[in-house]
């Protein structure tokens, strides 16, 4: 095939990156490193009391954390991050995977256990998480070819920014290319794209990794100074140790840290929305969200009453988060 411009937006195991940077596409020679986490994901129709008030919840503990996200139409998608050594085996069958996650989060909030219980086993999948260090000294562009998204800056999902950064790349590529009058201008435009994106994407890539490493190495069972020097699995179920002390006092700093961090993450505004536009969009989206969710819950309640919930789940089965990502090939 012949083309004027080639954008390598082919994900973390990018064939185009491997060719451009003369690396292996996968494995130790690919420059990608295992993060120490496996993420399990599942999805179900579910109605927590705060569905319309809280879109995203994170439950944290030592060497694992659990995230729930409202994905619309009365559904919740969850991610269970579990620290697992490289090469260590996890169960392969869907039922076994669900049992593994339930056991890993045994004794956690009842909300977590209830959600897991309500999730059909065959929606549960897992994936090992990899990222790369930022590619600051090596351009994402070479001649008329450029990398974008996970191909050049794969990151840990902790800050929910991998997809956002891919979209910012796409926007910037269009901005730079639209000024080109001939093919000969494309290589400079793509280098310009790289220079304008590398600082922000690398900073977010680094922040995502730091957040993940901190969770893995520092987070421990909550301990409260009021509980004395040791309350091993007693009152607050905390264990006194230096990390527990740091985590206990971190809560005073976190609001400021989050404020700075999220101001930076959400600082990219190529288009400035007016307050009225935002309000109208939010209202339209939330009205539709409420309508669709209530309908989905009513349909499920009826199926439970009729004893046909299995058939409904089968009918509503759709490719998982991971399968959808792989299917677009």
Catalog residues that contact ligand FAD under the rule CB under 6 A: 9-11, 15, 39, 41, 79, 149-151, 157, 160-164, 166, 325-326, 328-329
How far is 139 from 130, CA to CA, in rounded Å?
A: 21
Task: Using the minimum distance from each CB to ligand FAD, give the nearer residue, 43 or 150.
Answer: 150
**How far is it, in rounded angstroms, from Cα 17 to Cα 148?**
10
Cβ proximity to ligand FAD: between 12 and 244 the closer is 12
Q: Which is nearer to ligand FAD, 64 or 300 (CB)?
A: 64
Smallest gap from residue 125 Cβ to ligand FAD (A): 10
Residues 6+ apart with CB under 8 A from 179: 185, 189
**Locus of tokens 């999220």:** 262
> How many CB atoms are located within 10 Å of the residue 283 CB?
10
Contacts of 59 (CB under 8 A, 6+ apart): 65, 66, 67, 105, 108, 109, 111, 112
* In contact, 120 and 313? CB cutoff 8 Å: yes
Q: Smallest distance from the beta carbon of 213 to ligand FAD, in angstroms?
A: 17
**Smallest distance, Å, CB 172 to ligand FAD?**
14
Please say which residue, 166 or 296, places its beta carbon nearer to ligand FAD. 166
**In the complex, what is the shortest distance from the CB of residue 301 to ligand FAD, in angstroms, rounded to a whole number?**
29
The CA distance from 43 to 94, in Å, is: 13
CB of 19 to ligand FAD, least distance (A): 11
Q: How far is the CB of 326 from ligand FAD (least distance, A)?
A: 6
For residue 66, give the nearest of 54, 77, 58, 56 by alpha carbon: 58
What kind and span of H or E run contains 201? helix 186-217
Q: Quick one: 257 or 326, whose CB is closer to ligand FAD?
A: 326
Gap between the Cα atoms of 282 and 278, Å rounded: 6
Among residues 178 and 329, whose Cβ is nearest to ligand FAD?
Answer: 329
């Amino acid at each position: 095939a012949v083309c004027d411009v080639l954008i390598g937006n082919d994900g973390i195991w990018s064939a185009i990156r491997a060719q451009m940077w003369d690396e292996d596409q996968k494995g130790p020679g690919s420059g990608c490193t295992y993060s120490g986490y496996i993420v399990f994901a599942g999805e179900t129709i579910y109605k927590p009391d705060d569905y319309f008030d809280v879109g995203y919840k994170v439950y944290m503990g030592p060497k694992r954390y659990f995230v729930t996200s409202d994905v619309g139409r009365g559904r919740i998608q969850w991610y269970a991050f579990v620290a697992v050594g490289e090469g260590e085996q996890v169960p392969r069958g869907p039922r076994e995977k669900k049992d593994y996650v339930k056991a890993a989060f045994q004794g956690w909030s009842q909300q977590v256990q209830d959600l897991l219980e309500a999730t059909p086993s065959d929606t549960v999948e897992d994936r090992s998480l990899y990222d790369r260090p930022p590619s600051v000294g090596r351009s994402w562009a070479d001649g008329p070819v450029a990398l974008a998204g996970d191909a050049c800056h794969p990151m840990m999902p902790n800050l929910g920014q991998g997809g956002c950064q891919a979209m910012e790349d796409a926007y910037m590529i269009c901005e730079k290319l639209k000024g080109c009058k001939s093919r000969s201008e494309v290589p400079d435009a793509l280098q310009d794209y790289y220079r304008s994106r590398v600082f922000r994407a690398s900073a977010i890539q680094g922040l995502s990794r730091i957040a993940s490493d901190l969770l893995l190495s520092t987070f421990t069972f909550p301990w409260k100074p009021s509980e004395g020097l040791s309350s091993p699995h007693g009152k607050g179920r905390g264990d006194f140790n230096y990390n527990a002390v740091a985590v206990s006092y971190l809560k005073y700093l976190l609001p400021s840290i989050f404020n700075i961090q999220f101001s930076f993450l959400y600082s990219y505004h190529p288009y400035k929305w007016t307050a009225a536009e935002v309000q109208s969009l939010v209202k339209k989206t939330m009205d539709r969200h409420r309508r669709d969710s209530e309908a989905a819950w009513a349909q499920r309640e009826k199926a439970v009453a009729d004893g046909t919930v299995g058939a409904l789940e089968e009918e509503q089965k759709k490719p998982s988060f991971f399968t959808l990502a792989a299917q677009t090939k």
